[in-house]
Structure 1
Amino acid sequence: MSHVDLTVDGWLALSDAGAAGVAAAIAHDVGAALVSVSTHSYAGRSGRVALFERDGIRYALVPGGTVELGCDPARFVPTSRQLHDFAEAVAAYSVPEPIHRFLAEQMSPTRRATLPARLVAVRSVDADSLLTAEHDGTDDHESVMARLEWRGLRPPTPDEWEYDCGAGATTLFRWGDEYPDGEPYGDVPLIQSPNFFGLVIGDDPYRAEFTTDPAVLCGGDGGSALCGGYGGFLSWITLATAYRDPTLAEIIYEGYLVGETPVRPVLPVP
C-alpha cells in the first residue's frame, strides 16, 4: 500500500512497532528526520501522533481517506450563554437571525471529500519567512505558492485545512460546541494545545492561513471581531473549524498584507 493511501483507521490499527516502521519509511521517502511516534490525547479523544522535521520545520502525519467536512447548523444546540452572546451581537450589529441561519452563512457546507495522507506543519509560518534570494518582489497568492513549491511544499487545500483542524470532529469547534470563558487569544489551552493530529492550528483569530484557493483563508478573520469588540460569540466563531470569511482575502491582497499572512506548509507523501 502506498503511504499516501494511509487512513486514520489504518494508522491507529497498527501496532506500536508497525506505526514506527511506517513513520520511518515515510521519513525516508520525503527526506525528513523522524522525531517521535507517541500516543496523544485531545478533547477526550486518544490517538497516535508521528512528528518529523525537515529544513527547520516540524511536521505531523495527517492520515487521509474519505471524510466528512463542513458544518450542519441544524445539529448545533446552543447553550444559554451562547444565545445570550449572540443576542448581544444582534442588538449591536447587523447579524442575521436566527443563530442557525447565521451559522449557515458563516460556515462551509457539509460535504464529503477524499484526501491523501500527508505531512502538515505543526505550526504555520509567515509567508515572508519563505523568501529566497530568487524572490522577485511580487506579493500575491501566486508568489506564496511558488515559494513553497520551490521547497517541494504546498499549502493545504481548503478541504485539507478543515480536516487538519477538526480531525474528524463533527462539533462546531475541534474540541466541542462550547467555547471557554474569556477571549480566543492568549493563554487558552483548548486553542493552543496540539489537536488530535498534533497540530497547533486555529489558535489565533488574527492568523488566518492561506490555502491553495486564493479566495479562501482558514483559521480566523484577521482579528476583526476580536479587535472590534464584537463579543464572545462573534469572536469565538472565527475559530470554528468550518468558518469562512469571504472578505478577508480581498483585504489581505489590497492591503499588501501577504507577507505577514501565515501559511501552513504541506509536505506531500509519495
Structure 2
Amino acid sequence: MEAWNRPRWGQLTVEEKMHTMQEVLKQLPAGFKWLRLERFERYGQSLETGVFLYEGSEYVFVPGDSVTLGRSEVHMYAKMSPVREAVIGPLLVQRQPVSAGWYECPLDRLDAEEDEDVFEAIEEFRQGPHTSYEYSQSFRLERDGDQVVVFLFDDSESFGEWRETELPEGFTLPTEDEWEYLYGAGVRTLFPWGDEIDTSMRLRHVSGSSEANAEDPYPLELPNAFGLCFPGDPYKKELVLTEGGITGKGGDGGSNLHGGQGVDLGYLPTATAFRDPYESELEWEDLLDCLVYRRVVRL
C-alpha cells in the first residue's frame, strides 16, 4: 500500500495513520495488541508511528523507503558494505534487541545435581564484591540488589537449530539492507549521528568519557528516529540475514577496542555499513556469545 511507504506516510493525518495501523494489525501473527501512536525524534529526524505489543515486547511500524546504503570510502581498519540502492518494504520491528546466546534461568529450574557447579558459584558470588561473573559459554551471574540472577548459554550448535526455537512462524530477522536502513534511519553519514565519534559522550567500556550519572542511559542506546534501540556497543553484534546466510552488524566483538586501538577505531564498528572482516573465522558458538537479535515481521 502506498500509505506504508515513508514519503506518503509522513503526509497522513493522525486519523489516517490510526486506520492504517488497524490494517497492519490484521496482517500480524496472533498475539499482537495495538498500543498507541508515538512520535520519536533523534539526530534531527522524527517519525510518528504505531507501537504494538507482543509477549511483553514493544514493536514499531517502520514504513518502507527507497534508499542508498553502504560507503564508498576505504578504511584501512575496516570493511564497509558497498554503495547500493535498495527498496525497503514496510516492517514491524522489535524495539529492543535481546541476547541471542544468553537467557535468564530461574533458580527453581536448576537441577541440584546436574547444576551443582552453578549453585557453588552462586554461593561464592553472594559473598564476593563483584556485580557480574561469567563462566565461559556456560553460565553468567548478575547481582540485582540482594538477588542473584542466573543466565545460561544457549546450547544450539548452528544458526538453523537456533532459529527453530527463537523465530516463530511469521517472524524473521532483518536483512543487512533492512538493518542498515533501520539503524541509520535513512541518513548517509558514517554513523547514525554523524561522521565522527564524539569522545565527550558517555560510552560503554571507555572510562572517563563523561561525568554523567552512572545510572543514566548511554546516549548510543537511546531510541532513534524510528523508535528503535541499538546496543551502540562494539562488543556486541546484531544478527542479520545475508544472501549467503547470516552476519553480525554494529560491532566487532570488541576486537578493536580490546586491542587498544583507541576510542575512534574502537567504536568504528558501530558505523552503519561496517562489516567485521574477521567474522568468518568464528564458529557459531563464538559468534553467539556476543550476538543480540530482534524479530521483524515483513508486511
> 1:106 aligned to 56, 63, 79, which one?
79
Q: Give SS of 2:241's match.
A: coil
Higher alpha-carbon deviation: 23-32 or 122-131: 122-131
Greater share of residues in strand: 2
Unmatched segments (≥5 aa) in structure 1: 74-99
Counterpart position of 1:170: 188
CA distance in 2, matches of 1:157, 1:51: 22
CA 121–239 in structure 1, closer or farther in 2 if over 3 Å, else same = same
> 1:185 aligned to 204, 208, 226, which one?
204
Say whether residues 1:265 and 2:295 are aligned partners. Answer: yes
Greater share of residues in helix: 1
Say whether residues 1:225 and 2:256 are aligned partners. Answer: yes
* Maintained 8 Å contact 1:118/1:267: yes
What is the TM-score with the length of structure 1 in the denominator? Answer: 0.77
Higher alpha-carbon deviation: 107-116 or 149-158: 149-158
Aligned length: 235
| Letter of the structure 2 residue corresponding to residue 7 of structure 1 | N
Say whether residues 1:26 and 2:38 are aligned partners. Answer: no
**TM-superposed deviation, 1:236:** 1.7
What is the TM-score with the length of structure 2 in the denominator? Answer: 0.70
**Identical-pair percentage:** 31
Unmatched segments (≥5 aa) in structure 2: 105-153, 206-215
**TM-superposed deviation, 1:177:** 1.1
Higher alpha-carbon deviation: 63-72 or 108-117: 63-72
Say whether residues 1:203 and 2:232 are aligned partners. Answer: yes
CA 60–173 in structure 1, closer or farther in 2 if over 3 Å, else same = same
**TM-superposed deviation, 1:117:** 0.6
Counterpart position of 2:94: 121
Give RMSD over aligned pairs. 2.6
Q: Give SS of 2:267's match.
A: helix
CA 184–142 in structure 1, closer or farther in 2 if over 3 Å, else same = farther
Counterpart position of 2:71: 71
CA distance in 2, matches of 1:66, 1:122: 22
Larger of the two Rg values belongs to structure: 2
Structure 1 consecutive aligned stretches of length 4 or more whose deviation exceeds 3 Å: 128-131, 186-190
Higher alpha-carbon deviation: 17-26 or 188-197: 188-197
CA distance in 1, matches of 2:227, 2:280: 27
Q: Deviations over 1:237-268 (max 9, x none)?
A: 1111111103225325263x526621111122
* Maintained 8 Å contact 1:165/1:202: no
CA distance in 2, matches of 1:181, 1:148: 36
